[in-house]
């Protein structure tokens, strides 16, 4: 998208990656539609550049708020160049102990809300014949960890959907990327993590241990959200952006190890795979 200022629409800007990214985008001279469920929580961000930013109330599970926010964004700036789907949270439990209502609520925010917001902005990008849709996924979108099965399922859903979306919109000049962070110092465990405690002894060494590690001190996490924001901006503005951006050394190592294991496993079953075909004449 060159060096000209672009218009960003970012969901979930009150804390974490959304806040760091909004600050960095404004510092870089771009325009931002910053959104959060509580608009007052992002008023300070917009106050830094009132000529280039607006703060809007948005709960991505509320269709009326989505349509209103997108309409206000287009009315103010005339275009949306980059959509960052950042709003969402995590729910932890063993698969067996997962609570139906809490699982569905997380899917509404992390998956269906993300889908709905993207659908609302796609017509603008199609008219422009340019745009970039960036979804903040997780390393959990590329692998699964004990205690995070349902959270991983939301992120895997977004990853598969993004593959299909890219196939549909790439010919229209629209790019699609997922950002897959590992552990970062975003207060995620204290502010965006819900859980059903492990109460089954058989899962103590897997689920309970993993939950304890995930709820550790934020200062122990190696990732810097401000540095991550700069990396996201670089990818967002690249003319040939990658489909995947894994962030953080720990997350990158985890993903590479798992993908290598998967290639080895699937590659070693080639004969079995071909045996399921009709015999060739």
Checking if the pLDDT of 248 tops 70, the result is yes
100 within 8 A of 24, measured Cβ to Cβ: no
Four-residue CA torsion sign, 58, 59, 65, 68 = positive
133 within 8 A of 177, measured Cβ to Cβ: yes
Compute CA distances 41 → 14, 84, 193, 270, whole Å: 6, 18, 19, 53
Superfamily holding 7-275 = NAD(P)-binding Rossmann-like Domain (3.40.50.720)
Model pLDDT for residues 17-52, shown as the tens digit of each residue: 999 999 999 999 999 999 999 999 999 999 989 999
57 within 8 A of 33, measured Cβ to Cβ: no
Encoded tokens for 193: 């993590």
Contacts of 248 (CB under 8 A, 6+ apart): 181, 182, 183, 184, 222, 223, 228
| pLDDT of 3 | 59
Pairing state of beta strands 82-85 and 7-10? parallel
d(CA 143, CA 195): 19
Contacts of 98 (CB under 8 A, 6+ apart): 91, 149, 150, 196
The single residue listed with the structure tokens 């993300």 is: 114
| pLDDT of 4 | 75
Computed over every residue of the chain, the mean pLDDT equals: 93
Encoded tokens for 90: 């995590």
**Prediction pTM value:** 0.93
Would you name the residues annotated as active-site residues? 137, 151, 155
d(CA 275, CA 197): 44
The domain segmentation of the chain, as residue ranges, is: 7-275
Residue 215's pLDDT band, with cuts at 50, 70 and 90, is low
Query: Cα 235 from chain centroid?
Result: 14
Model pLDDT for residues 153-191, shown as the tens digit of each residue: 999 999 999 999 999 999 999 999 999 998 777 666 556
Residue 1's pLDDT band, with cuts at 50, 70 and 90, is low
């Amino acid at each position: 998208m060159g060096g000209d200022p672009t218009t960003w629409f970012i969901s979930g800007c009150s804390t974490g990656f959304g806040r760091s990214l909004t600050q960095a985008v404004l510092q870089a001279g771009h325009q931002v539609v910053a959104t959060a469920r509580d608009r007052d929580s992002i008023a300070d961000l917009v106050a830094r550049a009132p000529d280039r930013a607006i703060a809007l109330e948005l709960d991505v599970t509320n269709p009326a708020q989505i349509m209103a926010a997108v309409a206000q964004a287009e009315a103010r700036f005339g275009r949306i160049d980059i959509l960052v789907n950042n709003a969402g949270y995590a729910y932890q439990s063993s698969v067996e102990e997962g609570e139906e209502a809490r699982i569905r609520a997380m899917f509404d925010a992390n998956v269906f809300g993300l889908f709905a917001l993207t659908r609302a902005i796609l017509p603008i990008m199609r008219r422009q014949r340019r745009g970039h849709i960036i979804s903040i996924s997780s390393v959990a979108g590329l692998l699964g960890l004990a205690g995070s099965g349902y959270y991983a399922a939301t992120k895997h859903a977004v990853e598969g959907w993004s593959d299909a979306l890219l196939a549909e919109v790439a010919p229209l000049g629209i790019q699609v990327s997922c950002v897959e962070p590992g552990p970062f110092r975003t207060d995620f465990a204290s502010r965006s993590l819900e859980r059903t405690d492990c109460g089954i002894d058989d899962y103590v060494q897997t689920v309970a241990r993993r939950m304890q590690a995930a709820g550790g001190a934020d200062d122990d996490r190696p990732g810097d959200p401000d540095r991550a924001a700069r990396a996201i901006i670089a990818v967002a503005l690249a003319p040939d952006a990658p489909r995947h951006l894994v962030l953080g050394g720990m997350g990158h190592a985890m993903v590479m190890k798992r993908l290598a294991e998967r290639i080895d496993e699937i590659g070693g079953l080639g004969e079995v795979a071909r045996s399921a075909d009709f015999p060739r004449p």
